[in-house]
Amino acid sequence: MIHIACCLDNAFTSHCGILIVSICENRGLEPIYFHLLTDGLDASNEKLLKDIVARYGQLITVYKIDKKDLENCPIRKNDHVSIAAYFRILLPLLIPESISKILYLDCDIVVLKDLDCLWNINIYDHAVGVILDMFNHDVRIYNRLDYDMSLGYFNSGVLLVNLDFWRVTGLSSEVLDYINENPEKLKFWDQDALNYVLKDKKVNMPLRFNVQDGFYWKDPFVAKKYWKEMYKAAADPVVLHYTGYIKPWYKECDHPRKDLYMKYKSLSPWKHQKIGHLRLLLRVRCLILKLLIGLGIMSSRSNYR
């Protein structure tokens, strides 16, 4: 059985549901058990998610998080994440001890193939299996977090977590302590803290298991030695992760594979829900940026190829 964890609040109910639909539509031989961490869903939203899982004959448990455990975790004004971004740190403390491993997935993801191969990757004697971040080769990350670039920087949206390792070594407490002591270093929330604490306790996994926006850019930040694998992964992802702040549920999104999100949305209870707009300020900012790039006044490394 594959155990999958997601963290959400009411605002992300539909996106979590669409992720669940994509996982179940592409399920392999292994049954799926979903573990949802939340600080409190409306009863109607919780029922929607449970009904989806039941429709596919899989299992689900919803866990209630006490936000007091995360009171020192920074969320800045206008951040596009909520406190739910930090819930994954508590997985080893919340998931029953009979479960030794879990696959964590962000909710801005769709899964396009079965997860059996990912699940069966050997992470024994390591804390976590990870995929490098699309900004892995940006030296400013390592300068800010103060560790050697050779250790790499991963994206925390897909994590194969060795729960037993975390429990024995007390890693949840170590990550929370790092957050409490270094809030000024955390540009990317818990992802920065996880990278620092786990920098020498991880196993790198193939890029196809976390295909990020930057893998589609004309001028990616990824080192050239990874380009062959990156292009192959982008053409045929297992896990497609919409990492940009303009998500596929916004009309302004121009991600080249937005259609795949819409495919699984059409199979979900939200199939008739209209796609919305970005907040006005962000919309205006995006229009100005596109205009400046179009006029050649500014350049952008993040144009899709």
3-state secondary structure of 34: strand
**Do 207 and 226 meet the contact criterion of CB atoms below 8 Å apart?**
yes
Rounded Cα distance between 2 and 242, Å, is 23
More confident residue, 185 or 108: 108
- Whether the full predicted model's pTM is greater than 0.85, yes or no, is yes
| Alpha helices per DSSP H over 207-279 | 227-235, 258-265
- What's the rounded mean pLDDT across residues 134-144? 94
Residue 273 has pLDDT above 70, yes or no: yes
**Do 219 and 134 meet the contact criterion of CB atoms below 8 Å apart?**
no
The pLDDT value given to residue 75:
52
Rounded Cα distance between 76 and 154, Å, is 22
- pLDDT digit string, tens, across residues 9-66: 999 999 999 999 999 999 999 999 999 999 889 999 999 999 999 999 999 999 998 8
Residue 288 has pLDDT above 90, yes or no: no
The pLDDT value given to residue 86:
80
Residue 125 has pLDDT above 70, yes or no: yes
Q: How far is the CA of 9 from the CAs of 63, 118, 205, 227, in angstroms?
A: 12, 26, 28, 36
The pLDDT value given to residue 259:
97
- pLDDT digit string, tens, across residues 247-256: 999 998 999 9
Q: How far is the CA of 219 from the CAs of 138, 158, 183, 211, 302, in angstroms?
A: 13, 24, 31, 16, 7
- pLDDT digit string, tens, across residues 159-173: 999 999 999 999 999
The residue type at 213? D
The pLDDT value given to residue 79:
45
Tokens of 204: 């790198």
Give 63's strand partners: 37
- pLDDT digit string, tens, across residues 196-206: 999 999 999 99
- What's the rounded mean pLDDT across residues 292-304? 62
Longest dimension (CA), the chain: 59
The pLDDT value given to residue 186:
85
- pLDDT digit string, tens, across residues 67-94: 776 766 655 445 445 667 688 999 999 9
* Average pLDDT along the chain: 90
The pLDDT value given to residue 132:
97
